[in-house]
Amino acid sequence: MALLTTFITTPTVMAIYKPANGTSTGPRRKLRDFSNSSGKSSNEQLRLLACIHGAGNIPSLINLIESIRSTKKSYLKLFIMHLVELTERSSSIIMAQRARKDGLPFVNRFRRGGWHDKATVSFQAYGQLGPVSVRPITAVSPLSSMHEDICHVAETKGVTMIILPFHKQWNGEGDKYMENLGHGWRGANQKVLLAAPCSVAVLVDRGFGNGGQTPGPNVCRRVCVLFFGGPDDREALELGGRMAEHPAVKVTVVRFIEKDESHSIAITMQTAPKKSSENKYCLSTATMNIEKEKELDETILSEFLSKWDGLVDYRVKSVTINNLTESVLKTGTTADYDLIIVGKGRFPSTLVDKLADQHQPEHAELGPVGDLLASDKDGLVSSVLVIQQHDLAQKELPATVGSKVDKRPHSNYEKFNSEEGSSEVNKDIV
């Protein structure tokens, strides 16, 4: 009987529900673009799309959004998307029957009953706290195409950033994770990171907001931004600036610099033999000028410190290759911070290169720094938010750390060749 049901339901599901195909072609968005435009218009809305798997994501997400919500700037519009895997069960078939016939994702208010009511009430109550408009919606898709629905909604709603829950969730009491949703959900996150029409943040939750209270006069959230340099780190810094506006959020920026840089060595980043990025960190294919990137890092960091003088604690940490991993891990083990924000590092700096060289990737989609802080190592207690800034050169290729060579000046990142295993990127170390 079970076999017969499978044969009947599988074609039925696929016939009823056809997910939206294709990738986005509309305008691209990131936080810095929004900040520049919002300075010209006080009516500009920051639009965020936050995805959740279940009730366990609600407390941390509400606290994260509240920390991002500016008390002085623009109105925030929040889309909460409950991600439901389309399966062969009858309940999924019924939901699929309600999907739109044009192949667009099933988007509707949360279903009644169970934790769906709790989610609706929680977010509606939160929306009453300030200038936040909350719209709970649901998307039903097979895991293989879940990213298409997420990206479609992000594009049509003009979202600036997508917030994704990590596929593992810790309980905030040591290094044991409470739940692992599995490889399929991890794959969905990886596909969103590749196809998103805007910036993306992945939240590794170790109990951020487990106290049950949002930031307020008697509740302070401690946030740390780790800055190594590059577009992803600058986007992380931009987010940290928004948080610094909140009176109940204390932001610390820690900039890592290398001791004795004149004696540093370059690292050759090569494409992996296979295109799979499962166990390899990925680099962007965009061509970038290293000197201009350095200047941009310095300019934006200088502007940031001038703008938030007195509101942000700024520290510079000099490290060597020998204590680099220990220094990064220490920020997540001291319990000094509730949340650590890092860039994914698709244009890795010297230090991020060397960090990648020191350990085997566990979650390569988070980049070297995020991967290290999201690992199962003993003592890590801080939640982590990994930021990927949107760029027009969407394509990424997996890379391995190749041989070390003497430091030599170069003017550009060389662009990856799309042919499998046929090219390499030589980065100047600055």
pLDDT in tens, 324-367: 999 999 999 999 999 999 999 888 788 888 888 888 889 999 99
Q: Is the pLDDT of residue 180 over 70?
A: yes
Query: Cβ distance 312 to 305 under 8 Å?
Result: yes
Residue 329, CA distances (Å) to 99, 168, 382, 418 in order: 45, 19, 10, 34
Residue that is written with structure tokens 């706290």 in the block? 129
> pLDDT band for position 412 (50/70/90)?
very low
Write out the two tokens for 144: 């293989």
Query: Cβ distance 132 to 87 under 8 Å?
Result: no
Q: What average pLDDT does the structure give for the chain?
A: 75
Query: Cβ distance 231 to 389 under 8 Å?
Result: yes
**CB atoms closer than 10 angstroms to residue 133:** 12
Query: Cβ distance 148 to 139 under 8 Å?
Result: no
Interval 55-68: pLDDT, tens = 888 889 989 998 99
Region 308-329: what's the mean pLDDT?
92
**Residue 282 host element (H or E):** strand 281-284
Interval 189-237: pLDDT, tens = 999 999 999 999 999 999 886 655 555 555 689 999 999 999 999 999 9
Interatomic CA distance for residues 340 and 223, integer angstroms? 6
> Percent of the chain at pLDDT above 90?
37
SS3 409: coil
Q: Give φ, ψ of 47 to 5 degrees.
A: -110, 125
pLDDT at 132: 82
How big is the CA angle at 62 (ends 130 and 26), to the nearest 5 degrees?
Answer: 85
Helices and strands in the chain, H and E counts: 12, 16
β-pairing, 199-204 vs 383-388, is antiparallel
How big is the CA angle at 202 (ends 56 and 250), to the nearest 5 degrees?
Answer: 85
What is the DSSP secondary structure assignment for residue 23, as one 8-state letter?
A: -
SS3 425: strand
Sheet strand arrangement including 396-405: 281-284, 396-405, 266-271, 424-426
Residue that is written with structure tokens 């890590």 in the block? 380
> pLDDT band for position 399 (50/70/90)?
low
The predicted model scores a pTM of 0.80
Residue 25, classified by CB atoms within 10 Å of its CB into exposed (0-12), middle (13-18) or buried (19+), is: exposed
Q: What is the DSSP string of 167-227?
A: SEEE-SSSS-EEEE--HHHHHHHHHHHHH-SBEEEEEE-SSTTTTS--SBTTB-EEEEEEE
